[in-house]
Amino acid sequence: MTVAGLGLPLAPAEPPTGQPAEGIRQHDTHRALVDQAGPRDVPLASQALDAIIVPASRPAANLDQAVTLARAANCRLLILCSHRVRPIQVQELLRERSFKQAIVIDLPDGYHHPLLDFPALRSVRRDLPDACSSYVTDLSTKRNVGLLLARMLGWQRIFFLDDDIRDIAHPDLQSTVSMLGSFPAVGMRVTDYPDNSVVCHAHRVTGASQDVFVTGAALAVDCHADIGFFPDVYNEDWLFFFDDAAHGRLATSGLEVTQLAYEPFADPQRAAWQEFGDVLAEGLYGLLHLGRGVQDANRDYWAKFLEARQSFLEAINERSHLADVDIREQMVLSVKSALGCSAGIKPELCERYVRAWRQDLAEWRRRIARMPATMALDEALEELRLSPATDRHPGWPVQRHPGAVTEHGVRGPVMLPWSGTLKELAERAGGLGNDPAKEPVLTSDYYQG
């Protein structure tokens, strides 16, 4: 048996006790579904990067990595701002760094546009578990806006970069982007702090093996390819490049990056919020491990996968005594929260969601195929009902043309916010006490992105 479209042999599936005999299960790694050809293995022609796109939600200092990379790559930097990042602070950072190729957009609260309308998924959303609306996130919207702007402006090669990602050197960025000559999507792996869902973190800290997958947090995309969109659900990036994975077109450069550490078990409700998206993504990629495709994501399959998911979560709780005592209680609460949400997910809902997603995906591809790729920036922003943020600091010139792009550029040392491992965070937090003069701990809050 081989993975669909990849020709890669599958290891014999021996599901753990309590899981369906058909081999339908939760996998701890999906490496067999990603082409592992690194830049040394692929004949590379130098591929110029058109833009780095950052769906920003954290304070402006977190954009320093993106500015540094954009300067080194001599490419545009598109910063889509919401939540805790303020455009005026972004402008100040760009001015301090003398960076002149940035497009800064303040995404309005509740922003919507007909090009981002997905009616089939909208009809299913009201039936999703209540936990799915526990946190408000516009990450998928910002990434989709980035895709639309890239198509309108004729950008071919873009790199999505989350504002909590660190330790990307320009040669590594260039190597990853140059692989777009062979693949439509190429990712890096976020290994420290590991890029996993809450329950997968729990899986790891209770002694089980747990890998990380390609992520939208550090992802090169060929916008001239038949690209998907990012649905408004957890693991939206897994759905975005699902078809590439299914046909052997998803690759990793084998390069690793880090992200700001955070406490995954701080809020047990976070695991419940992630559960439906985690079930969808793990279930769909589980099909690929079986050599099957999205057409097999029917009610019967989802019934069996949900049974396997329950076994997976219950096994974590059974191993909870292996977790560090300092995190054990919150971890157990988080897994129980996920279990409660998972128990309410019906197989027919998963089937309906996948059908709706595929219906909207087909329409999205028709939509962007008709889209002109030669727009000027002001035309593209007007079409999307957006406008660039402008300087409003006293004494700064205000650009009043509706399509004017604020451009500033890069000078001076790189000052990256501190990040560390979870253990270091805990030790650092314990050492701060009530001394306001101490440096604050910056954490990663993905669900706010």
pLDDT digits (tens, 9 = 90+) for 33-71: 988 766 555 545 568 999 999 999 999 999 999 999 999
- Is the residue at 239 inside a domain? yes
- Is the residue at 100 inside a domain? yes
- Is the residue at 322 inside a domain? no
Please answer whether residues 366 and 230 qualify as being in contact, where contact means their C-beta atoms are separated by less than 8 angstroms. Answer: no
- Residue 41, pLDDT score: 54
- Residue 432, pLDDT score: 36
- Is the residue at 188 inside a domain? yes
- Is the residue at 155 inside a domain? yes
- Is the residue at 273 inside a domain? no
Q: Which residues of 51-64 are buried (b: 16+ CB within 10 A; e: fewer)?
A: bbbbbbbbbbebbb
What is the number of structural domains in the chain?
A: 1
Assign residue 376 the CATH number of its domain: 3.90.550
pLDDT digits (tens, 9 = 90+) for 404-424: 333 333 323 333 333 333 444
Rounded mean pLDDT, 23-29: 91
The tally of CA atoms less than 13 A away on the side-chain side of residue 176 is 30
Q: Which domain holds residue 257?
A: 31-262+371-383
DSSP 110: T
Please answer whether residues 74 and 100 qualify as being in contact, where contact means their C-beta atoms are separated by less than 8 angstroms. Answer: no
pTM for this entry: 0.83
- Is the residue at 379 inside a domain? yes
Report the first-to-last Cα separation within the chain, whole angstroms: 39
- Is the residue at 307 inside a domain? no
Instruction: Band the pLDDT of 399: cuts 50, 70, 90.
Output: very low
